Structure 1
């Protein structure tokens, strides 16, 4: 059985923490509009899309490697500390990882923010690679979201 793993990254942004946090919570509305090259749509299947228990169906744009969709369940949201966790519960990712749980936190950093993202995973097979591709995708998306918010 494959051992659990964890990846972590921190991204500095120029956006105000409150604005960046709100954009993350509203990602189901913002991401498909702002990043059509990455997200085809994000549909809310259960809940309001931004509180614990909510389930979102994320359809990725064509041309992205490995995955076309994932179903995510929001596990926790802490407004005061600007943190949220979510688990991938369906989609191609599940064929690579038995479990995939991510956390995002937005921390004040001078005039901007420090976005901390991590994921805990358990590989479905011993030889499955670490999900570095998803870490890179998160980093790029946070940088692009920052640019989008600075223009808005």
Structure 2
């Protein structure tokens, strides 16, 4: 039986400015280890650069109290549109999901910048959990970035 593609989406207002959020991921992803050390322990560039499609990064992270790792390829980086997609090519999440990608885009509505995260995935087994904890994780570090910028 073929699995169906699934999607989870979460959006959060980002008072520090969407350009700031976008710049962290497109110019200085390793800085996430300093902003949210309880979530990200390392970010290593294996191929390319942090702001180039096709580049490969490896992250060490803590999700739900468990250490994990993943390798991702930058699939769709568009600085002007303030969007980025990471396709997971190795790591813990691929033990549960046939395919997995995480993307964000920043949009401005009525003078407020919003960061929208989208998780696209296929379950390996029908009884595997949907990655709600991963969505909470990305929303959580988005708000952590904002707190870091404001010095909270």
TM over 0.5, yes or no? Answer: yes
Shift of 1:51: 1.5
Matched with 1:128 is 128
SS, match of residue 142 in structure 2: helix
How many residues align? The count is: 151
SS, match of residue 49 in structure 2: coil
Shift of 1:128: 0.5
Matched with 2:80 is 80
Matched with 1:91 is 91
Q: List alignment gaps of at least 5 residues for structure 1.
A: none
Inter-partner Cα distance in structure 2 for 1:81 and 1:113: 13
Give the CA RMSD over aligned residues.
1.9
1:95-128 CA distances to partner (integer Å, 9 max, x unpaired)? 1001001210011245542001101100111110
Q: Is the 8 A contact 1:7 1:135 kept in 2?
A: yes
Shift of 1:94: 0.7
Q: Which has the larger displacement, 84-93 or 24-33?
A: 24-33
1:31-78 CA distances to partner (integer Å, 9 max, x unpaired)? 11111111110000001122101100001148733x510001100111
Matched with 1:31 is 32
Q: Does 1:9 find its partner at 2:1?
A: no
Matched with 2:105 is 105
Matched with 1:21 is 22
TM-score with structure 1 setting the length: 0.91
SS, match of residue 31 in structure 2: helix
* Cα distance change of structure 1 residues 63 and 137 upon mapping to structure 2, 3 Å threshold: closer
Q: Is the 8 A contact 1:36 1:61 kept in 2?
A: no
Q: Is the 8 A contact 1:16 1:108 kept in 2?
A: no
TM-score with structure 2 setting the length: 0.91
* Cα distance change of structure 1 residues 128 and 82 upon mapping to structure 2, 3 Å threshold: same
Q: Which runs of 4+ in 1 moved over 2 A?
A: 26-29, 61-65, 108-112
Q: Is the 8 A contact 1:6 1:120 kept in 2?
A: yes
